[in-house]
Amino acid sequence: MTPKKIKSFGIIFKYNHAPAHAAAEHLKKCLSAEGIDVFMEEMCPYGFEKSNDMAQNEYDSIYKNIDAAMVLGGDGTLLGAARIFGKYGVPIMGINLGGLGFLTSIPLDKIYDAAKLLIEGRLEIETRLMLEVSIVRASKKTNSEKEILTAFNDVVINKGSLARIIDLEVLVNEEHLTTFRSDGLIIATPTGSTAYNLSAGGPILYPTMNSIVMTPICPFTITNRPIILPDDSIIKVAQLLESKEEFFLTMDGQIGLSMRWDDSIVIRKSDKKMYLYKSPYQSYFSLLRTRLMWSGNNVLGAKTAVSSKDN
């Protein structure tokens, strides 16, 4: 995605977080002084989903006319914003006021320098995959009544409250893959590969890859391993055995729905993309080393330096 001239700007800040609110207010003042129209909003406790349709339409009319947005908070704040801005292709920059910060990778002390680079069109924008989640309820009469949601990080299918495993049948492009006997299943984008997927033993994918990773949670059979699929795969998941107990579907750790055993879930690449401003201060590999506390010893670089000196 090519950066464009910024005329209007959105600032989203972490819910009930005084430092984020203060930083947002000051940034709004600075940008307004430059003649930029600024819309500022506090993140709702559960993202931007509005219960009032009229309020939602009003906010949507604002979001789709914003040229760029900055999110002040943690990765959870950015995930909530992504599901809204992803509808309209608005690029987002994440400022870290949270924990790990894989998505909100720019430190707070760089906020004004980063905003200046953004407005001047000097920052690279990365394209990230999003997932479309279709929920087909057995109680619905027609397929047209299915629920359709969006996820940026991951889709997680979990067992109920009782300590028992669930049997999840998985089809990929209408072909039976396997039945996972496990505590659940994670279907993640490359961006979400460093979230729950990583904790469950799944691989890290470079965030701009065109792939989807599927990782069972605590599988009963040790040979049930994570699998990486091309992003044009259509994944269908259903609970295999009849049960009175509900299981749960969660998108990005923020939107949760209870499911019956005879409901099914279809996951595919969304037509919408997420656009993120790339940090000018560190590479993705540097981010991994920092956040995951990997060794920073540059052995190859040191050897190269010694060889050059000897020559």
Quick check: is 75 catalytic?
A: yes
User: Where are the extended beta strands (E) located within 159-233?
Assistant: 166-172, 175-182, 184-188, 211-217, 227-230
* 1/274 Cα distance (integer angstroms): 10
- Long-range pairs of 56-59 with CB within 8 A, sequence gap ≥ 24: 59/84
Taking a C-beta distance cutoff of 8 angstroms, is the pair 133, 149 a contact? yes
Outline where 215-298 has alpha helix (H): 284-291
Q: Per the residue annotation, which of 75, 183, 252, 263 is the catalytic one? A: 75
* 9/117 Cα distance (integer angstroms): 14
Q: How many other C-beta atoms lie within 10 A of the C-beta of residue 228?
A: 16
The answer for residues whose C-beta is within 8 angstroms of residue 251's C-beta and 6 or more apart is 133, 149, 150, 151, 154, 155, 156
Taking a C-beta distance cutoff of 8 angstroms, is the pair 265, 237 a contact? yes
**Would you please indicate which residues are annotated as catalytic (active-site) residues?**
75
